[in-house]
Amino acid sequence: MLSREEVLKIAKLARLTLTEDEIAFYQKQLTRVLGHIQDLNQVQTSKEAFVQHVPNDAESFREDRAAPFANPEGLMRNAPAVENDSFLLPTIVEHS
Amino acid sequence: MSLEKYESVIGLEVHAQLMTQSKMFCRCPNQFGSSPNTNVCPVCTGQPGSLPVINKKAIELGVRAAVALSCEIHPESVFARKNYFYPDLPKGYQISQYERPYSTQGHIVVRLKSGDEKRIGITRIHFEEDAGKSNHESYGTLVNLNRAGVPLIEIVSEPDMRNAHEAGQYLRALHSILRYADICDGNMEEGNFRCDANISVRLRGTEKFGTKVELKNINSFKFVEKAIEYEIQRQVFAIESGEKIIQQTRSWNSGKNVTEVMREKEQAHDYRYFPEPDLPKLMISSKWFEQIKKEMPELPKEACERFKKAFELSDYDASVLTSSKELAKYFEAVVAHCKNGKASANWVMNELLGRLNAAGREIGDTPVSETQLAALIKKIDSGEISGKIAKTVFEEMFATSKDASSIIKDKGLVQISDPAALESVVRKIIEGNPSQFAEYKAGKVKLLGFFVGQAMKETKGQANPALLNELVKKLLDS
Please determine, for residue B202, whether its predicted confidence score (pLDDT) is greater than 70.
Answer: yes
Q: Which amino acid is at B86?
A: Y
- Phi then psi for B211, rounded to 5 degrees? -70, 130
CA distance A21 to chain B (A): 23
Please determine, for residue B244, whether its predicted confidence score (pLDDT) is greater than 60.
Answer: yes
Name the residue of chain B whose CA is nearest to A91's CA. B140
Between chains, do A92 and B86 touch, taking CB under 8 Å as contact?
A: yes
When pLDDT is averaged across residues B103-123 and rounded to a whole number, the result is 93
Between chains, do A75 and B86 touch, taking CB under 8 Å as contact?
A: no
- Residue B86 in contact with partner chain A when CB distance is under 8 A: yes
Range with lowest mean pLDDT among B97-111, B151-165, B219-233, B386-400: B386-400
Please determine, for residue B108, whether its predicted confidence score (pLDDT) is greater than 70.
Answer: yes
- Best residue in A63, A69, A94 for a mutation probing chain B (most B CBs within 10 Å): A69
CA distance B85 to chain A (A): 8
Residues of A in contact with B282 (CB under 8 A): 60
Between chains, do B281 and A51 touch, taking CB under 8 Å as contact?
A: yes
Are β-strands B213-218 and B248-253 bridged in parallel, bridged antiparallel, or unpaired? parallel
Of the partner residues A13, A88, A91, the one whose CB lies closest to the CB of residue B270: A13
Between chains, do B280 and A60 touch, taking CB under 8 Å as contact?
A: yes
CA distance A11 to chain B (A): 10
Q: What does the pLDDT read at residue A38?
A: 86
| Rounded-to-integer distance, Cα B394 and Cα B398, Å | 6
Contact (CB, 8 A) for B56 and A63? yes
Q: What does the pLDDT read at residue A96?
A: 35
Please determine, for residue B373, whether its predicted confidence score (pLDDT) is greater than 80.
Answer: yes
Work out the percent of chain B whose per-residue pLDDT is above 70: 98
Residue in B367, B348, B347 with CA at minimum distance from that of residue B359: B367
Q: Map chain B to HEC letters.
A: CCHHHEEEEEEEEEEEECCCCECCCCCCECCCCCCCCCCCCCCCCCCCCCCCCEEHHHHHHHHHHHHHCCCEECCEECEEEEECCCCCCCCCEEEEECCCCCEEEEEEEEECCCCCEEEEEEEEEEEEECCCEEEEECCEEEEECCCCCCEEEEEEECCCECCHHHHHHHHHHHHHHHHHCCCCCCCCCCCCEEEEEEEEEEECCCCCCCCCEEEEEECCHHHHHHHHHHHHHHHHHHHHCCCCCCCEEEEEECCCCEEEEEEECCCCCCCCCEECCCCCCEECCHHHHHHHHHCCCCCHHHHHHHHHHHHCCCHHHHHHHCCCHHHHHHHHHHHHHHCCHHHHHHHHHHHHHHHHHHCCCCHHHCCCCHHHHHHHHHHHHCCCCCHHHHHHHHHHHHHHCCCHHHHHHHHCCCCECCHHHHHHHHHHHHHHCHHHHHHHHCCCHHHHHHHHHHHHHHCCCCECHHHHHHHHHHHHHC
Contact (CB, 8 A) for B331 and B347? no
- pLDDT: which is higher, B206 or B65: B65
Between chains, do B21 and A64 touch, taking CB under 8 Å as contact?
A: yes
Between chains, do B58 and A94 touch, taking CB under 8 Å as contact?
A: no
Range with lowest mean pLDDT among A53-62, B186-195, B237-246, B302-311: A53-62
Work out the percent of chain B whose per-residue pLDDT is above 90: 46
Residue in B246, B273, B274 with CA at minimum distance from that of residue B261: B246
Write out pLDDT tens, residues B3-15: 788 999 999 999 9
CA distance B91 to chain A (A): 14
Per-residue pLDDT band for A51 (boundaries 50, 70, 90) equals: low
Please determine, for residue A56, whether its predicted confidence score (pLDDT) is greater than 80.
Answer: no
Residue in B82, B52, B78 with CA at minimum distance from that of residue A51: B78
- Residue B447 in contact with partner chain A when CB distance is under 8 A: no
- Residue B51 in contact with partner chain A when CB distance is under 8 A: no
Q: What does the pLDDT read at residue A59?
A: 64
Q: What does the pLDDT read at residue B10?
A: 95
**Predicted complex ipTM:** 0.74
Residues of A in contact with B145 (CB under 8 A): 87
Q: What does the pLDDT read at residue B150?
A: 97
Q: What does the pLDDT read at residue A32?
A: 94
Please determine, for residue B154, whether its predicted confidence score (pLDDT) is greater than 50.
Answer: yes
Domains of chain B, each with CATH number or no CATH: 3-291 (no CATH), 298-411 (no CATH), 419-477 (1.10.10.410)
| Rounded-to-integer distance, Cα B391 and Cα B347, Å | 9
Domains of chain A, each with CATH number or no CATH: 1-47 (1.10.20.60)
Of the partner residues A9, A53, A66, the one whose CB lies closest to the CB of residue B22: A66
Range with lowest mean pLDDT among A54-58, B5-9, B261-265, B470-474: A54-58
Residues of A in contact with B28 (CB under 8 A): 66, 68-69
Of the partner residues B47, B56, B87, the one whose CB lies closest to the CB of residue A63: B56
| Rounded-to-integer distance, Cα B344 and Cα B329, Å | 12
Name the residue of chain A whose CA is nearest to B247's CA. A96
CA distance A70 to chain B (A): 8
- Residue B48 in contact with partner chain A when CB distance is under 8 A: no
Please determine, for residue B32, whether its predicted confidence score (pLDDT) is greater than 80.
Answer: yes
Q: In what order do the strands lie in the sheet containing B93-97?
A: B93-97, B79-83, B274-275
Of the partner residues A15, A61, A90, the one whose CB lies closest to the CB of residue B54: A61
Q: What does the pLDDT read at residue B69?
A: 96
When pLDDT is averaged across residues B258-276 and rounded to a whole number, the result is 75
- Phi then psi for B77, rounded to 5 degrees? -140, 170
Range with lowest mean pLDDT among A54-63, B404-413, B414-423, B448-457: A54-63
CB pairs under 8 A between A and B: 146
| Rounded-to-integer distance, Cα B438 and Cα B447, Å | 10
Write out pLDDT tens, residues B37-53: 999 999 999 999 999 99
Name the residue of chain A whose CA is nearest to B30's CA. A66
Please determine, for residue B92, whether its predicted confidence score (pLDDT) is greater than 80.
Answer: yes
Of the partner residues A56, A68, A81, the one whose CB lies closest to the CB of residue B29: A68
Name B118's bridge partners. B110
Please determine, for residue A95, whether its predicted confidence score (pLDDT) is greater than 50.
Answer: no
Q: What does the pLDDT read at residue B166?
A: 95
Tally of CA atoms within 13 A in the half-sphere of B404 that contains its CB:
24
Write out pLDDT tens, residues B336-358: 898 888 889 989 998 898 888 88
Between chains, do A69 and B40 touch, taking CB under 8 Å as contact?
A: yes
Please determine, for residue A53, whether its predicted confidence score (pLDDT) is greater than 70.
Answer: no
Cβ atoms < 10 Å from Cβ of B121? 14
Contact (CB, 8 A) for B472 and B455? yes
Residues sharing a CB contact under 8 Å with residue A72, sequence separation 6 or more, in sequence order: B37, B38, B39, B40, B41
